[in-house]
Amino acid sequence: MPDPKAVNSMFARIAGRYDLANHLLSGGVDYWWRQRLVRAVHDTRPGAVLDLATGSGDVAFALADGLPAGTRITGMDFCEPMLEEAVKKRADSPRWTAIEFRHGDGLALPLPDGSFDAVTISFGLRNMADRHQALGEMRRVLRPGGRLFLLEFSQPFFWFRPFYYAYLKFVLPAVAAVVTGDRSAYEYLCGSIGLFPDRAGIAAEIRQAGFSSVAATPMTFGIVALHVAQV
């Protein structure tokens, strides 16, 4: 499992160029992934949403744009420099000013039980030192009937794997090194993708944490999956 101090340090180093790297390295498809997540959340009509591992806030901002006015959105992350980037961006739109950004560890959320209708986490679960504990914390802060929306890298369709893993191993770290100046950070991130369970494996972990009605939707040849589960 990842070392929390190392992960925190890594994200702190790349915080200033993180958004640019994400958009470039995904070819802009990350916008579509976020919109799929937002549409799924919107359909459940939550009154309060926690965006865990919010990073620089892109998912929290997309939620604010896509959900009805008055929806309470809280973005939480354990990396202060990433949160600082989110706070800077919050002033860019009047719809974003009500988003609350808070510092917090996904393994011990500083939040009361049953305080949210939905929890979203995008590309953050694989960086948790203990996935079972993190999923348990997400379940704890959800109200009865609340939903988890997990957007995360997955294992691609079989025919696409050779191309995808070649991209992860050779192309992505080289491009990221130019964009962020930190090749080692993206070598770690690429390695974490390769080691992450497939859709069935993560669905099983979500069920083990006490969730029900777990459904997984693959996207972009299976390299990403959106898991939705209910308390």
What is the rounded average pLDDT of the residues 120-139? 96
Domains and CATH numbers, the chain: 4-156+197-230 (3.40.50.150)
Token pair of 151 as six digits? 């957007």
Q: Which amino acid is at 34?
A: R
Is the pLDDT at 189 greater than 80? The verdict is no
CA dihedral 130, 136, 137, 138 (to 10 degrees): 110
Instruction: Tell me what the pLDDT averaged over the chain comes to.
Output: 93
Per residue in 152-179, pLDDT tens? 999 999 999 999 989 988 888 888 888 8
d(Cα 76, Cα 124) in Å, to the nearest integer?
A: 11
Q: What is this structure's pTM?
A: 0.95
Strand segments (E) across 81-209: 100-103, 116-122, 142-153
C-alpha 77: how far from chain center = 10
Question: φ, ψ for residue 162 (rounded to 5)?
Answer: -60, -40
